[in-house]
Amino acid sequence: MKTTTLKITDIKHNWHLVDIDAQILGRVAVKIAGLLMGKGKALTGDHLDNGDFVVAINAAKFKVTGKKMTDKIYYSHSGFPGGFRELSLSQLAEKDPRRVIEKAVKGMLPKDKLQQTRLRRLKLFTGSEHPYAVELGLNKKS
């Protein structure tokens, strides 16, 4: 039996819709990261980008367990003296809830050259409206 390897010509990027409404942040981020990497497909390859497009709606309605809304801190530094910044999860969610989902998914993707390519296929929306109905096959013909 021959081993079938994945080729660039075999790659087809499908579209998936994920509704984040009332879902736990980490669990939905694992699901999205798996779709972006193409883990559910029959042929996978770590060296090729085999993942799918993901449209995530209702990003503002995620949930977390415990006291993470106040206790989880995101750190950043501008590179300038005194440029150290701290934001709690609640502050970041109030400022831009899409960033919370994006940071969670980015942390679950492999740290390689394909990470930014995979993240570009993630389309996040705070509400339920999005412009990707045609790609998802949601347009109804009457």
Per-residue pLDDT tens listing for the chain (142 residues): 788 888 888 889 999 999 999 999 999 999 999 999 999 888 887 888 999 999 999 999 999 999 999 999 999 999 999 999 999 999 999 999 999 999 999 999 999 999 999 999 999 999 999 999 998 887 555 4
Residue 36: inside a domain, yes or no?
yes
96, 105 contact by CB (below 8 A): no
Residue 119: inside a domain, yes or no?
yes
Residue 76: inside a domain, yes or no?
no
47, 86 contact by CB (below 8 A): no
Residue 126: inside a domain, yes or no?
yes
Residue 42: inside a domain, yes or no?
yes
Residue of 93, 75, 72, 95 lying closest to 85 (CA atoms): 75
Instruction: Give the separation between CA 89 and CA 70, rounded to whole angstroms.
Output: 6
Instruction: Give the separation between CA 121 and CA 96, rounded to whole angstroms.
Output: 19
| Domain of residue 51, residue span | 13-65+97-133
Q: Which two tokens stand for residue 138?
A: 């949601």
Residue 110: inside a domain, yes or no?
yes
Residue 22: inside a domain, yes or no?
yes
DSSP state of 26: H
CATH number for 50 = 3.90.1180.10
**Structure confidence at residue 25 (pLDDT):** 97
All residues at 6 or more sequence positions from 84 whose CB lies less than 8 Å from its CB, including other chains: 75, 76, 77
In the chain the first and final C-alpha atoms are separated, in Å, by 48
Note the pTM of the prediction, 2 decimals.
0.91
Give the total number of structural domains in the chain: 1
